[in-house]
Every structure is written in structure tokens, then in C-alpha cells.
Amino acid sequence: MPTSNAHPQLRIDIVSIFPDYLAPLELSLVGKAREAGQIDVRIHDLRDCTQDRHRTVDDTPYGGGPGMVMLPEPWGDALDSILGSDPSRTPVLVVPTPSGERFTQAHAAKWALGDWLIFACGRYEGIDSRVMEHFGERIHVAEVSLGDYVLAGGEVAALAVTEAVVRLLPGVLGNSESVVDDSFAPGRMADLVEGPVYTKPPLWRGLEVPEVLLSGHHGRIEAWRLEQAHERTRTRRPDLHGETPSGDMAD
């Protein structure tokens, strides 16, 4: 049985002009994984890689238009320095952007098998595209989006992706079984969201826990949960068009 010893420590570097935004990585599951030595998280201030007195990180876009674009030089220096700190590893450079491919559980599962993630958190209208072009010739670059809305910068996405990856590392979750029933987990949950969950008391404000969950009949409980997952996916996530669990569920 694989243990946390069988897995290399995951290194995570995050470059941002708001390093304090990443403070939540000291808390909860990710914070505990850091304390346990399961991950090595290093946060970097992009402004430490600027050359001028004003610590400039942006300028106006070529071609005109609103907003500012992040300069390539500080990014080049920051990423060169991080890459040079461990030539033995091959990182994935994750660039959060609303114009990226959608980040999914499949990315999280793949990156949990690797040993090094570097996040380049842009602000403003984004990072000069030559940064992604240049580093794309040296390492794998993944421009990813959390969904179809616009955040002010990549920091929240870096937090989200980090948490999605770290909770999949062996030994990070208390119960190693619990990830297989997750929404989107590879396998039967791949295109499904989880159904409702309940705990004690069995009757609360006139609302009962579904009887099947109190039956102790594990086969019926599993079948009911799968049925609920399909129903919830059909109503809330028609974009996933989850398959029906069996012929009698078709409608």
C-alpha cells in the first residue's frame, strides 16, 4: 500500500506582487501538509526582481487599450531564479488567467503525481505573452482558468489549484478513501457532482434524513447516492450531461 513516504515532497513556488494574499496557505489542510513536510511552499514577491527605484512591474499595452500589462523582465528574472534553484526537477509552470483552459480535477490529479508546481500570478490585464512563449520552450506551461468570470489577479486561483492538488497527495487527507467519491473524481464520479449529505440528528426542524441512509444496507445506500449524483448533475450541471446510471434511469 502506498504511503506518504513513497511520494516525493511536492514543491510549490508562487510568484505574486501581493505575497500576503497567499497567507491562507499557512492554514487548514495545506498549512498542516506544510508543517508535516509533505509539501514545500515558497512564496516570492515579484517586485524583488525589479531593477528600478520604483519597483515597476507593468506598463501600457502595445497597440493601445485599457489597463496595464506586466513587464516580461521581472517575470523572466523571477522564474529563471526559481528554475535555477533545483535543476534536478522538472516543474509545471501554472499561469492562472481567465483566458486559459478550464482547470479541472484531471489537472489536479496529474499535478499531484508531479514534484514541482510554479505559479505565476498576474494582475492587471495579464503578463506579456512572451513570458509564456519563452518558458514554454523550456518547461511545461499551463494557462488555466477557474471558470467563466474575471478575478482581479491569479492569487485566488493559485490558492484554489494548490488546495485541489495538495488534498490529493497520499497521507494528506485523514481518510484516504474519501477522494474516490468526490465530485469529478476519476472513475464513476468523473462527470458527476456529489449528491446531498446528512448527519445527526435524524429529524431536524421537521426534516428527516432519507430512510435509506439509516437502513445500514450498503448496496442500497451506494445505489441511492449514485442516483442522487446523477439527478443533481442533470439539474445543476447540464453542461456535464452525466450518463444515466442504468437503463431504468433514462428520461
Please give the residues from 12 up to 71 whose contact with ligand 6GU meets the rule CB under 6 A: none
- Contact, 55 vs 161, CB < 8 A? no
Please give the residues from 198 up to 237 whose contact with ligand 6GU meets the rule CB under 6 A: none
Stretch that binds ligand 6GU, among 64-72, 90-98, 174-182, 203-211 (CB under 6 A): 90-98
Q: How far is CA 199 from the centre of its chain?
A: 28
Partners of residue 220 on adjacent β-strands: none
Q: Which of 39, 157, 165, 193 binds ligand 6GU (CB under 6 A)?
A: 157
Choose, from 19, 61, 72, 98, the residue flagged as catalytic: 98
Residue 219, C-alpha cell as written in the block:
448496496
Q: Closer CB to ligand 6GU, residue 33 or residue 157?
A: 157
Q: In whole angstroms, how close is the CB of 155 to ligand 6GU at the nearest point?
A: 9
Please report whether residue 153 would count as binding ligand 6GU according to CB under 6 A.
yes
Q: In whole angstroms, how close is the CB of 156 to ligand 6GU at the nearest point?
A: 7
Choose, from 80, 125, 163, 231, the residue flagged as catalytic: 125
Stretch that binds ligand 6GU, among 93-101, 169-177, 181-189, 218-226 (CB under 6 A): 93-101
Q: Is the peptide bond before 201 cis (omega within 30 degrees of 0)?
A: yes
Q: In what helix (H) or strand (E) does residue 96 lie, and over which residues does it extend?
A: strand 92-102
Q: What distance, in Å, lies between the first and last C-alpha atoms of the chain? A: 42
Choose, from 34, 47, 55, 167, the residue flagged as catalytic: 167
Q: In whole angstroms, how close is the CB of 126 to ligand 6GU at the nearest point?
A: 8
How far, in Å, are 192, 219, 244, 246 from residue 250 at the CA level? 16, 21, 6, 7
DSSP 1-68: ---GGGSPPEEEEEEES-GGGGGGGGSHHHHHHHHTTSEEEEEEEGGGG--STT---EEPPTT--SS-
In this structure, the dihedral spanned by the alpha carbons of residues 194, 196, 201 and 202, taken in order and rounded to 10 degrees, is: -120
Residue 231 bears catalytic tag: no
Please report whether residue 96 would count as binding ligand 6GU according to CB under 6 A.
yes
Q: Closer CB to ligand 6GU, residue 74 or residue 96?
A: 96
Instruction: Cite the active site residues.
Output: 98, 125, 167, 182
Contacting residues toward ligand 6GU, per CB under 6 A:
96-98, 144-147, 149-151, 153-154, 157
